[in-house]
Structure 1
Amino acid sequence: MTDPTPGLPNWVDLGTADLADATRFYTRLFGWEADVSGEEYGGYTTFRLDGRAAAGAGPLFGEGQPTAWSTYVSTDDADAVAARVEAAGGKVLVAPFDVMYQGRMAAFLDQAGAAFSVWQPGTMKGADIFDVPGSLAWSELVTRDVDGSAAFYGAVFGWVAREMWVRGMPYLVWELAGETVAGMQVMDETWPQDLPPHWMIYFAADDCDDTAAHAQSLGGRVARAPSDSPIGRYAVLEDPQGGLFSVLHNLTV
């Protein structure tokens, strides 16, 4: 795999309250193989699809921390990103640190409270399979503060927020150097008031409806039934530990 482009999402991983059961659920749902690291990495698991890294998972370390998926944006300087996050009104949750020789990472909150991370590649570049069933297909910021987010991510990564018409419907996208890198969905009054802004990850699926049904059969929950959207047919699912993620068929952006 060539080095990932700085400023593009390049990895996702799950912090989970039950790594063994999460491994059972996701390997059966997506056909992943679990590659478990040594004790020095706390049992961190790399999920592989056709032998290539698709996503990761590890245990929770903070008391009261919820099970959740994290989005990582590639960078060539995690420390510089941390400085820009603070200058733009965000918060450094986990200061940049080295993960052995694999790379360097940090975790943040944006100006509205949405969590995201960065990965500065070492020997581990990030995901090396995308856009096929069972791999990362799309990342989307869900927020109530569109203007603030446009300013924040523009300052941190150089992203530009633009409105596009997709399948005859308006949709907000993030662009970097003219290329689409992610999406943005506005949380209007129909969203629960207690739901915080967040980054949603989408895994590609051959059949969104079948994948949602399969997730239920494995002990998961369908949080939003399969439906059509500007970016394709999707469903929001919840794993047995409460981790939310989406599956998407036929990305159209």
Structure 2
Amino acid sequence: MFSAKNVTRAFVAGSIATTALLLLAGPASAHVSVQPQGEAAKGGYATINFKVPNERDDSSTTKVEVNFPTDHPLASVMPQPVPGWKIVVTKSKLAKPLEMHGNTITEAVSKVTWTADGGKIGPGQFQQFPLSVGQLPEDADQLVFKALQTYDNKDVVRWIEEPKEGAPEPESPAPVLKLTAATGDEHGAAADEATAETASKDDAKTETASAESSDGTARVLGIVGIVVGVVGVAFGVLAGRRRTAA
């Protein structure tokens, strides 16, 4: 039989083990990540969010740097303003120019930096930093963004280790954006939408013009009928007078 002392010892040991597991799992689950807002389709454009949690109990995050992949450069990167944060977009020359929408792109965004300007990410909090990016590559299944997280005590956490398929998650994993197969031509869909809208407007204009034309024709015919009627009445009066005189 178990004595009260043995039960107490087992409970204490279990509590210590559970606490140790939670402490070990905590930092791994609180890493910087990138999340698509909607679908991040190959060859298209997407709005993505870098989610930055604060994993410290005694300091706040005051700076976040996200480095963009050089093997699949993105020509268009537009940050959404974040209250309390200053945003700097850094561009670099491309070793190989990109062709996009008939234009030659010679530089692309290499880094985006958010620096606290009245804001911060305090203990137990997180912040999202949205970006509109494109054109996403068609020959890749994912994009790896290496991130640096700076605290107000000058500590820097480097989220730069690329996760490997089938391997355990690294201690400081880099944010990874998964790319999905395109369901259709993103730009083509937008073009079709614009074309449909233009056609609708043209049809409305045509209907309006036809209605105006029909209304104008009716008015002309009405005026002609009135004139003919007046002429007929005048002719009848004159004929009556002639008969009376005779």
Judge same fold: TM > 0.5, yes or no: no
More helix by share: 2
More strand by share: 1
**Larger RCO, structure (CA 8 Å, separation 6 or more):** 2
Q: Normalized against structure 2, the TM-score is what? A: 0.25
Whichever of the two has the greater Rg, that structure is: 2
Q: Normalized against structure 1, the TM-score is what? A: 0.25
